[in-house]
Amino acid sequence: MAVHVALTGATGFLGLRLLRRLLETHRSVTVLAHAGSGDALHRITRFFELTGASTAFTAALPARLRVVETDLARPRLGLSRQAFQELADRIGTLWHSAGSINLEGDLPELRRTNVEGTRHVLELAAAGRLRPRVHHVSTAFVAGARRQGVAYEDELDDAHGFENAYERSKYEAELLVHAWSKEHGRPVLVLRPGILVTDLPPHPELPSHPLQVAERILRDARHTTAPALRTEAPESRPRVRMVGHAHGRLNLLQVEHAAEVMVRLAGRTPSGGVDTYHVVHDRDVPVATVVEVLERLVPVSIELVDAGPDTPSALESLLDFYPGMTAYLAHRRRFDDTRVRARLGPSAASAPLSTDYLWAGLAARPWTVPGPPGQLADLSPAGHCV
């Protein structure tokens, strides 16, 4: 019998791409959308329109998507007891992609969404008569504040502390997943992506990605401190000293490839316990490349230093309010993905990430609808699984 799939976070940067992949093999998907966040169906439809879907495909979305408004932070997801049970009994596979990625958020706030939200999603899975398989999207950065060496997929501890409350909240969510799997004797797939990026330019109707957030913070900080910079020559760029390592590297991965790999891993036979995979690029991007891209976008000169300046400029002082993000400029560690490559073979490898690719996903420019990705333009409900 075909299995019905449900997805949280379907309007997010990754969630929209997961939804695209799921609609290739399922006639319908239940979208668990955040109550009060706006028209989820409209936002999903606009994403597909803007990324090259055919008119026939987008016209069929209202019939293929069932939107259920929920609140992750509340017991039973904010639903009545009856509605919660009816929802639970429909689901055969439950994807949990929703969460807060606010690197500057405080821990209580992040726990409400990332930890308690995961707890309530697991309660939904436990209540379902079909005993749905659970696929939990975590992050490779549960590895915490260890800045060098190798992070392995089986590792999950807090020995090195965390760079920010976001990392800790995702670590605590994974602990819940392990405890739930053991208590219920149920398999769970844990997927840990690196930093996800795209080459689609920014658009007001599309969710932003982490590098776009970094560029926006840098641009806003420069704009805010502009009066203090007027004494400099018009052609000069203000210097920004940031703590980082000259040979630092970041794991950046194309979001479309990440979604493809995740859905393929979900199709593998589970071990019966918690199967964890690093969904990462096989080649890290040098921090110097990220710096180059940011300097190309924002008129500043970024200098990586070993320690914060004793007398920071106004611009540097303002950027100090965002330590959760700048900490990654000092990272040199590598995420091991041996298990993914063993399961999927050479097809797990990502295309190279160039400076131009990263720039394309950050630079504001006239929007043109790209060609359809894969089979999307011709995709129709006919012949697909329920």
Q: What is the pLDDT of residues 97-146, one digit of tens each?
A: 999 998 889 999 999 999 999 999 999 999 999 999 999 999 999 999 99
pLDDT at residue 248 tops 90: yes
Q: Cβ contacts of residue 50 below 8 Å, gap of 6+?
A: 203, 205, 206, 367, 369
Task: Indicate the pLDDT class of residue 210, thresholds 50, 70 and 90.
Answer: confident
CA distance 5 to 65: 11
Instruction: Report, as an integer, the average pLDDT of 335-352.
Output: 94
211-220 long-range contacts (CB < 8 A, ≥24 apart) are: 211/252, 211/290, 211/293, 211/358, 211/361, 211/362, 212/361, 212/362, 213/325, 214/294, 214/325, 215/294, 215/297, 215/298, 215/362, 217/319, 217/322, 217/325, 218/294, 218/298, 218/300, 218/319, 219/297, 219/298
Question: What pLDDT does 384 receive?
Answer: 35
Q: Which residues of 67-89 are buried (b: 16+ CB within 10 A; e: fewer)?
A: bbebbbbeebbbbeeeebbebbe
* pLDDT above 90: percentage of residues in the chain: 75
Question: What pLDDT does 367 receive?
Answer: 78
Backbone angles phi, psi at 74, to 5 degrees: -110, 145
Instruction: Report, as an integer, the average pLDDT of 182-187.
Output: 97
Higher pLDDT, residue 236 or 331: 331
CA distance 14 to 65: 17
Burial class of residue 208 (count of CB atoms within 10 Å of its CB; 0-12, 13-18, 19+): middle
Task: Indicate the pLDDT class of residue 2, thresholds 50, 70 and 90.
Answer: low
CA distance 324 to 241: 16
Q: How many residues does the chain have?
A: 386
Question: What pLDDT does 323 receive?
Answer: 72
Question: What pLDDT does 373 receive?
Answer: 54
| Alpha-carbon dihedral sign for residues 81, 83, 84, 90 | positive
Question: What pLDDT does 250 receive?
Answer: 95
pLDDT at residue 379 tops 90: no
Q: Which two tokens stand for residue 22?
A: 């799921």
Task: Indicate the pLDDT class of residue 168, thresholds 50, 70 and 90.
Answer: very high
Strand partners, 65: 29
123-127 long-range contacts (CB < 8 A, ≥24 apart) are: 123/75, 123/76, 124/77, 124/84, 124/87, 124/88, 124/91, 124/94, 125/88, 125/91, 125/94, 125/180, 125/186, 126/180, 126/184, 127/84, 127/85, 127/88, 127/89
Domains within the chain, CATH numbers bracketed: 5-196+252-281+333-350+370-378 (3.40.50.720)
